Structure formats: C-alpha cells, structure tokens
Chains A and B, each alone.
Chain A
Amino acid sequence: MSRVQDRRPPAADPLPEARTSRTRGLAVLVVRRLFASVAVLLLVSVLVFLATDLAPGDAATAQLSRQGGATPERVEALRHALGLDAPFPQRYLRWLTHALRGDLGISYAQGGEVSRLVSERALNSLLLGTVAIAVLVPLALTLGLWSGLRAGRRADRIVSASVLTLVSVPEFVAGTVLVLCFATWLGWLPAVSTLSAGEHPMGRPSLLVLPVATLVSACLAQNVRLIRAATVEAAHGEAVQVARLSGVPEWRVVLRWVVPGAVVPAVPVLARHVSYLLGGTLIAETLFGYPGIAAALVEAAAARDAPVVLAVAMLTTCVTVALNLVADVLSAIFQPVRGRGT
C-alpha cells in the first residue's frame, strides 16, 4: 500500500512544458509551412514565367496585330516602349510587382484586362467547385465508413468493386457517358452548360447538375477507398477491441473510436481534391463548355496567350498550396504525431 503511494511517478513534472511545447510546436509548424509555401509560389512563378516566355509572340505583336499594322519596325518600337526587350530577371520582377498590385496585364488573344477576365471566371469555377465539394465530402464519408464497417460482407464487396471500377474511369469518359445517358437519351438535363453574356449560373441550377456529377464521380472513388481502408484499420485495432470488451455500446465505439481514426488519414487527400475542385476543373469545364477558370486556361494555352496562362496557373497553384497548408495544419492538430516533418 505504502509502496504504491510513496513512489510518485516522474510523469508529474514535465506536464506544463509538454503543453506549451505542443502549442509552440504547432506555431513553429505553421510559420515554417507559411515560409515554405511562399518560397514554393515564388519558384513556381519563375518556372511558369520562364515557360510562357518560351512561347512565340508577346504583348507588342498581339497589340499591333489587333490594331492591324504589325510591321517588324513598329513591333520593335513598341516592344522597346513596353520594356519587353529587357533581360528576363527585369521582366519577371516587373510582372511580379504588377501582379502583386493586382495588375495581371492584357490578354494577347482577347485584348481585355486579364484580372477582370480571370476573376469573373474564377467565381464561376468557385461556385461549381463548392457545390461539388458539398456533395463529395458527405457522400465519400458515408460510403467509406459504411463499407468499412461492413468489411468483407456483401455490401462492402459491391461498394469496393464499384469503387475499384470507378477509380479507373477517366473524368472525360465519365462525363461523356453521363451526357449520353441523362442529356441525349433521357433528355432530363442540358448537355452543355454555356452561359449567355451576363447570365449567372445560379439562375439555371440545372446547368450545374451534370458537371457536378462528373466531378464527384472523378473524386469519389479514391476518397471512398481511403476512408474504407482507414475504417477497416481503425475497426480492427486493439483500441477498438478494448472498447468492445469493456462493454462500450457498438454505436459509441463507431462514433468515438472508429470515425476519428478513419477521418484523420483522409484529411490530406480530401484537401487535395478540394483544391482540385476549387482551382478550376479543367475537364468538366471543357466538356460542358462551362465558363470557368480552367476552361479559360485551355483556351489560352491553345492560343498561347501567355498572360492568361500565367495568371490562371499562379491562381490555381496559390489555391493548392494554401489548401495543402491548411490540410497539414489540420492533421497536425487532429493527430500531432503525424505530419510534423517538413
């Protein structure tokens, strides 16, 4: 009796430091990740600027050919006036300082201000992406948990097999098949989602249904697989066995033991899909003619419209990097043992 009580364990003292060091560790993580993100963005912008610089044509040629008088001499003069004959670092710095002030230049192909063109398109993409996420996340969690908890049974086998098939279907094939079924054959929904000038997608929600379905079908399978696997692992862990043998009711075991263990590993992948969906959904927008930011990128890439490509690429990379940052911090909070390494 006395033995047990007089042997105070050494665990009592390091407590306060442990807690502050955890908060401090988290702050350090956030700051380090922030710096790393900014560095990544800068490096990516250099690379993208370099890549678009390789494309033939520049602002001077574009402007003069729109006005219809592109003699080599006049191009040369305008190029000099615009500072386009300056060395690469100088041009890059000018672009960067302008971009940070919100001035992204003039589109070669359309002549409009890139920032206006891009922001309008970005809002459309944001809407599409948000709706897709609102459908994707609950659906993926439900299906993953449901089939994971029934691992090995018939329901799970059906879900797993369909998910394994779905994971192999490219987005453009899935979209085409959806169009064929629901637009061409059944005629329930419009096959294209183009908007007339000044029209807002919210005005005709039916336009969004097929693009959203295509996006969800593309992202769903991998998330379900991941969540199912994590659920299976959590549900067969010793911690869950202890809970069951301690008489914790089954619903409570699922809620408190299995679900957190299944969701935490899925956070980074979900975040990547969210950033994909928010950053412009190239294939769905092209397939349905939806006026989003990614469709703008495809058009610009086809026309070698460097300022637009540059703007869209940087915007999308910003979204990706920011969401990855959020995902890292979230998984560090939920499960601080993971995700600490930079």
Chain B
Amino acid sequence: MTSPRLGVQATPQDSPTSLTPPPRGKASGARQRRRARVSALVLAAGLLLALVGPWLAPHDPGATVDIPYASPSGETPLGTDHLGADVLSRVLSGGRGLILSACGVLVAAYLLGAVAGMLAALRRGWVDSVLMRTADLLMSMPAFILLSVLVVAVGRGPVGVAVATAVILVPDIARMVRAATAQALEHDYVEAAQARGERTPSILSRELLPNLLPLLCADAGVRFVAAVFTIATAAFLGYGTQPPEADWALMLLENQPGLALQPLAVLAPAVLLLAILVSANMLVDRLTPGVRQPTGPADEHRHTPAQTAVPATTSHHGEVLAQARGLCVASASGHVLHEVDVDVAPGQILALVGESGSGKTTLALALLGGFRPGLTHTRGELTLSGSKLHTLGPRALRSLRARNTAYVPQDPRTALSPTMRIGTHLAELLRAAEVPAAERTTRAREALRLVDLPDDDAFLRRWPHQLSGGQRQRVALAGALAPRPGLLVMDEPTSALDPVTAAALLRDLSTLRDRTGVGILLVTHDLAAAARAADRVLLMAHGRIVEAGTVSDVLDQPVSEPGRKLAETALVAHSAFRELSGATEGDSAVVRTTEREAPETGPLLRVRGLRAGHSRQGPAVLRELDLDVPRAGCLTVVGPSGSGKSTLLRCLAGLHPEWHGELLLSGKAVPHAVGDRTRETLRTLQFVPQDPFDSLNPAHTVDEILRRPLRLFAPAGRLPAPHAPEELLARVDLPSSTAGRPPSALSGGQRQRVALARALAARPEVLLCDEITSALDAATAASMVKLLASLRSEDGMTLVVVTHDLSVAARLGGDIAVLRNGEVCEFGPVARVLTAPAHPATRGMLDASLARQLDRRGSPLRTADQKGG
C-alpha cells in the first residue's frame, strides 16, 4: 500500500485505512507519547534548520574557501568539500530545496490523488475502473525506472524530479483514499443520509470528510516522508539538483571519493537527512492507527501463588469435572471475578448467563486454566479433573487440557486457522491428545459424524473458507469432541447463528451429552439458548454469580436485582405471547388495535411483484413479493438471516440499486431509486438503520444530527423552530440535555432513540425500521418496541419493521410476513400467525423463541426433544 516498489521503504505503515485505534497498555502509552513528543521536536528543528539555513550560512556555499577536503578549522567548522567549499555553509543551504519541493509535490499529488480516489469510490462503475487501471499501470513499473524514463523525457533538474515524484505518489494516494472512502461509505449514517435524499457533495462534506480527515493527515505524513525519500534519492542519482547547487543528497554523492580524508562532508548532510526522515516516521507511526500492539503475551496460567489454606494435594472428586472455589481474577482496573464458586459435573449442561462484561467468558477460560492478557488470578482455587491447577507446570497443564478438556470459541469465522485444511485441523488436535497417527483419521471421521458433517476425504481436504458459518462452527465442535474430552466449554455458540440454526445446534448439544457423557459449560448472553439446552443456569453480574438454579427457578424466584430485571424482561416478551393466545378469544388490547386496522380507504403502502437480486446476473434475493400496509398499520417482516428481509426494506427505502416491480404510496407510483424520488416522497418514507453504533455520525452532536433533516424537510419558506431538536428528543423520551452531546457519549438504546428522532424530524408517515432492536439488550429493546407502538397508536404512524425476534411482532400487533428464501411463506394478522402457524418455517421460528418456551414452562428442552424424536 505504501511504496514497496521504491524497494527502499519510505513508510512505516502497511495499511493506514483501519480507523480503529490500536489498544495500547498504559505504561507503553506513556513511553509512546514521550517518543512522539521527542520526534515532533526533532522534526520541527530539522525542518526549521533546512528552511532558514541559507540565511545562517557563514560563507557563500559555492565559494572556494580552502583546499579540497580540508579538516575542520576555525574558519570552516566542518571542513571543506571536494571543491574546497565550506561544508557547514553547504549543509545549511542544502535542505531548503529538498523540503520545499517535497511539500510542493505532496500538495499536488494529494490534490490529484484524493480527488481521483474519492471519485472512484463514489462513482464506481467505469470511472472507478479507468482510474484504478491507470493507477495499476503506473504502479507496475518500479518507481526509479519510472523516474529514469521521465528524466529522459523531461530532462534533468529539480522540476523533472518533482513531476516524476508526484507521478509516483499519486497512484498510492488514490488507492488509499479510495479504500478509505469506500469503507466510510459503508457506514449506516451515510446510508441514512442517502435515504433522506442528500446529494453527493453534501454527503462528502458533511458525512465523510470530518471522519476521514485524521486518517488523511496521518497518510499525508507518510507521503511527505516518501516524497523527501524519492527526491533525495533522485538527487543522489544525479537526476535532480545539479552541481554547483548545494543539496544534501548530492553532497553524499560528490564527497564520496574523499570519505577517508573528510568524512564530515558526507556525514553532516546524512545526519540531517536522517534526523528529518526518522523523526517524521516515528511521529507518523505514533499518529497512524495501525498495527496492533498487544501489551503482553496471551493466555497461560500466570498465577500469583494462590493463598489457600488447602494443602496442594490432589483430592480426586469423581463427581466434578471442573471446580472453582472463591475464585478472584483482577485486571489493572479492578476485579473481573469476585469470590466465584462453580462446579461442573459430568454429563451436565451448565449455562453461564450474563450481560457482556459480567465476567462469564473470563470464568469459563479460568476453569481451563487460561487467562486473557492483562488478567491475573489473585485468589481462590481451580480444580480440573481432580488436579489442582496451581500445582501443575505448563507441560502437565497442557497434557491435561489435551486429554480432558475442549474449548469452542465464539466466532466460527476465526475459530479455525484459515491456512489449515479441516482434516489437518482435526489431526493436529488429536495429535496433541496423544492419539497415535494411525488412528487419527478414523477418529476425525467419527467426530465429524458426531456433529452431522460429511466424513469423506473430500470434506477432510476442504479449507475453512469453503464452509458456511454453521458448518465451521460444527467443525470447531468436532475438533473439540474428537479427543473425547470430559469437559466442553462453548463460548456464545449461538450468537453468530440465526435462531432456527441456533435451536438445532442446542438440540444436538443435549443429544451429544447423552451419547458421550461430556459435561458442557455453555457461555451465553441469551436466556433462550440457556433455557433450551441447560440443566442448570448461573446468572453472572459484575463478576459475581448472583443466581443459580434451573431456568424456571431463576425466572420465578429471582433473589437478586439483575435476576429480577432479567425475569421482568423475559416476562414482557412472554406476556405478549400470552395476550396473543388470549386474543384469539377476543379480549385483549392487541386485538382491539387489530380490529381498528380494518382498511377503509385502501392501503397506504402497496408493493406489487417486487423482485431483487444483488447483481443483474446473480440469483434473486426476493421474488415476486406482494405486500399491503394500511395507514397507521404495522407490517412486521420476520425470517432467518439470508431470507431477504433487509433487502426488502432497502428496496422500499430506495437504497437497493436494482429491483423490479411496483411501489405505490397512497395509490401513486414511487420511483425505485432514492435519487429519483421527490422531496415529498422522501419525507413520507423514513428509514431507521439497524446498528445504533454506526448510524450516527461521530463527528456531529445530536443537535446537528437532528437539525439537518429538520432543515431539509422544513415546509417551504419556513425555518425549523429553534427548539425543534429538543421537542423531537422529548418525543423519543430523551432529556433535552442530550442535544449537546456527541453520539459517543450515548448508550446503544439512547443512540437508537436519536436515530428514530432523526427519522421523525422529517414528519414521515411511514417508518422503515431495520432490525432496530437487535443490537440492544432485552430491557432496552422492550422499551424501544413500546415507543414504536405508541408512535403508531398515538400519532397514527405506519410501521414496516424488519426483525428476527418474533416477540417484537407479538408486541407491535398488525400483520406479519414470514420471509423464507426470498418468498413470503406465511402472511396474516400477528395474532393468527403466531398462535396457529400454518407454515413449518413459522413453527420453527416460534419453537426457537424464548417467550414461546416459557409458555410451555416446565422442561423446555425435553418437550422440544420428545416432539422431534
């Protein structure tokens, strides 16, 4: 990405396009800051000296003052050069041209490269290919060959070199800016701006540039170094500044023959050049977010000796696989686990439930003797298969893990090494468990069969990227089970799966437990997953275990504040289903709203024959969809991931580039692309993006975020009222003090409310909501749904809501469309579809939802299994 084709490298960063700051430790952070400050000082001094140097020179840099290569004397403090000129004067005069031309080249190359890069990213299509092919072409020639050719064409001299350097820099800059812009365009807040009909220049200046600027500044530093580097090297090759002009690089070339007599004539300019280059690189390295700098080695058992009264002998409990007693784990900023007691028994499925940050993953890893970097085991005792962990050396711990325990991490995409075939992966784990080589393939096949994967040679030879997410997770599980461990730890096994796949996985876990007798520790934030699979649940909050028992125990008789909160939110979802069951008999609140919806004047929103794909040739994502939404009605679209529900919403919002069919708003046809829609249509249909952490531009305050659509959609000739943002915030139950804050100071739920307020600023009639609860915890999601419902009942807002959570549909009422493989497989009033589903896909989704399981409380898991088997 930088200038590897210079062969010589001017730049420290490999890819400055990542916007995430590197995690750095405190101690190393202080050191880094000190280093950056020193670099900045050295750089400033070097640049200043280069710029004002010519005025400080004691002699005329071209004048002969002594014999050639004379040693330093009073008259010439650094001696003389090959012509007998004063080295000090020449050094002082030799930097200005270099620095000034580097600056000039930088400005010219940046203007050209940045414009080309942004244009390529924004326009795409042929503009993009022409610009990028040109860049490729220029980059396929080694830089100094290009330089030589251009010098032949233009002639020697600083101008020719400056032009050539700019030509060398432009393609790199254009590619970097294109990549960064394309990445920035992916943000939900850019999509939101497009959806409200903002023009390209406004998106560029308001949404993109404020966030790209720091990155571009750091990159400009990189390019400055590269420019100095290239121009100096060109001068050294004799292409640039010509003698008798003073120039640092040229001095190195000219005075080479006198190296033995007068090394200062070479060293002095070299030192100044290096001072500027090294300090600039150090500074850029500090300022550019990039290579991750971990603060310490990962994992491994770094006990401070456990202060326990129990003698360190092995007492064999046949009953317990893993045990923690009074376990405390601390990080630099405080306790992560506090006095935790856990027992995992053979053949038991134990779920560790808790919000993120409650310490559940730390506890699970600690039971295996693993600690993340920065965490220390401060107190308490860990026992694994009867051995006290603190008595074990690294070798014994390794062998214990290889034979007795297994771990499946959260993300199936990263659990398998991308450079290892499936068969190799399984064989490596079996090798670690000391299974003889001859048996490994047989055992690998056996493990694959256990998790329902094919066991043929072709499958063993596949790479992880050739598998789907669900398959990769099963391979990870097979790898864990292959050595036949006693204890299996699974970290959030369902979070990356859609509910139906997740339910299938959990069902299989209990089958596996029955067949192999393995004890399973399930780490999850999803109570539904725990309820489906686990025999016992431990609820964690703030590093402590606050509830223990079966799911029903915890929900019925919570003994702690977090437990009560959990029970409450679970029951909100549950009661929505209850009301639905009641609604069929006709006596609930939901049914009253349902009745009021009877369409009188025809639907407000009507979709006919909607077809869409990701590309013109690609398979259809949506086929022949017909949908009607009455005024003040609500349509909830549900379906597993990949069913096309988000694409549907993006078609309606005008964000999906290519679709066929008709969209009618109050009977009038609406153009497909957002750019063709009138302001009035844009105002009527407002889009709320999915991810609250990405849908608000971090460069603006809430007030600015809300004022933009207020101005854009203000009735003709009228300015928005000064208090309009505060009024909007009040409508979404946020205090008016929120207005002055940046999005980074808000929680996920608050951000989602701001995103909703931004949509309301346009005074819309239809809200298109894309999974707006999926990134929120249960309680926040529940209040968000309540807010949507009140917008509908009080303000007559029409809602189109996409979600994977059936309880959202249950709470919003109206109609529901179940999407599967791009087709509506079931459509009807929520009350009917959720209480008497007709299609197997709907039934599958219902089975997977927690609230539904609570409805059949008792033994949620067993019911599901008996039904299936």
Question: In the complex, what residues of A have CB within 8 A of residue B156's CB?
Answer: 302
- CB contacts under 8 Å to B, within A265-310, are 269, 272-273, 275-277, 279, 281-283, 286-287, 294, 297-298, 300-302, 304, 306, 309
Question: In the complex, what residues of A have CB within 8 A of residue B294's CB?
Answer: 151-152, 232, 236
Question: In the complex, what residues of A have CB within 8 A of residue B280's CB?
Answer: 168
Cβ contact within 8 Å between B400 and A247: yes
Stretch at the interface among B426-434, B681-689, B737-745: B426-434
Report Cα–Cα, A87/B274, bound state, in Å. Answer: 49
Q: Which residue of A lies closest to B255 (CB)?
A: A176
Cβ contact within 8 Å between A165 and B514: no
- Check A246 for interface membership: any CB of B closer than 8 A: yes
Stretch at the interface among B310-318, B332-340, B453-461, B570-578: B453-461
Contact A335:B419 (CB < 8 A) given known A152-B293, A236-B298, A277-B7 = yes
Q: Would you give the 0/1 interface string for B63-95, flagging 1 where the beta carbon is closer than 8 Å to chain A? A: 000000000000000000000000000000000
Cβ contact within 8 Å between A298 and B238: yes
Partner pick for A167 among B12, B151, B238, B295, CB 8 A cutoff: B12
Partner pick for A15 among B12, B151, B458, CB 8 A cutoff: B458
Q: Could you tell me the distance in whole angstroms from the C-beta of B354 to the nearest C-beta in chain A?
A: 20
Partner pick for A168 among B277, B514, B868, CB 8 A cutoff: B277
Question: In the complex, what residues of A have CB within 8 A of residue B420's CB?
Answer: 256-257, 260
Question: In the complex, what residues of B have CB within 8 A of residue A233's CB?
Answer: 292
Q: Which residue of B lies closest to A55 (CB)?
A: B152
Cβ contact within 8 Å between A247 and B399: yes
- Check A211 for interface membership: any CB of B closer than 8 A: no
- CB contacts under 8 Å to B, within A242-270, are 242-250, 252, 256-257, 260-261, 264, 269
Q: Would you give the 0/1 interface string for B380-398, flagging 1 where the beta carbon is closer than 8 Å to chain A? A: 0000000000000000001
- CB contacts under 8 Å to B, within A109-162, are 150-153
Cβ contact within 8 Å between A173 and B252: yes
Cβ contact within 8 Å between A225 and B12: yes
- Check B401 for interface membership: any CB of A closer than 8 A: yes
- Check A2 for interface membership: any CB of B closer than 8 A: yes
- Check B415 for interface membership: any CB of A closer than 8 A: yes
Cβ contact within 8 Å between B419 and A313: no
Interface size class of A (residues with CB under 8 A): 35 or more
Cβ contact within 8 Å between B266 and A176: yes
Report Cα–Cα, A164/B144, bound state, in Å. Answer: 23
- Check A104 for interface membership: any CB of B closer than 8 A: no
Taking chain A's interface residues, is the majority helix, strand, or loop, or is none over half, making it mixed?
Answer: helix
- Check A202 for interface membership: any CB of B closer than 8 A: no
Partner pick for B462 among A18, A55, A249, A334, CB 8 A cutoff: A18
Cβ contact within 8 Å between B142 and A246: no
- CB contacts under 8 Å to B, within A1-49, are 1-4, 7-9, 11-12, 15-16, 18-19, 22, 40, 43-44, 47-48
Contact A247:B432 (CB < 8 A) given known A172-B249, A242-B408, A309-B152 = yes
Question: In the complex, what residues of A have CB within 8 A of residue B405's CB?
Answer: 245-247
- Check B148 for interface membership: any CB of A closer than 8 A: yes
Cβ contact within 8 Å between A170 and B137: no
Question: In the complex, what residues of A have CB within 8 A of residue B512's CB?
Answer: 4
* A residues adjacent to B (C-beta < 8 A): 1-4, 7-9, 11-12, 15-16, 18-19, 22, 40, 43-44, 47-48, 50-52, 54-55, 150-153, 164-165, 167-173, 176-177, 179-180, 183-184, 191, 218-219, 221-222, 225-226, 228-229, 232-233, 235-250, 252, 256-257, 260-261, 264, 269, 272-273, 275-277, 279, 281-283, 286-287, 294, 297-298, 300-302, 304, 306, 309, 312-313, 316-317, 320-321, 324, 334-337
A-B residue pairs in contact (CB < 8 Å), sample of 24: A2-B869, A3-B511, A3-B868, A11-B453, A15-B456, A54-B152, A152-B295, A168-B10, A171-B233, A176-B256, A183-B259, A219-B8, A238-B409, A238-B414, A239-B415, A239-B418, A243-B432, A244-B298, A245-B489, A256-B424, A264-B419, A304-B152, A337-B418, A337-B465
User: What 5 pairs across the A-B complex have the smallest Cβ distances?
Assistant: A247-B402, A247-B401, A276-B7, A260-B419, A51-B153
- Given A16-B458, A248-B402, list of 6 further CB < 8 A pairs? A8-B452, A44-B137, A54-B152, A238-B414, A248-B428, A283-B236
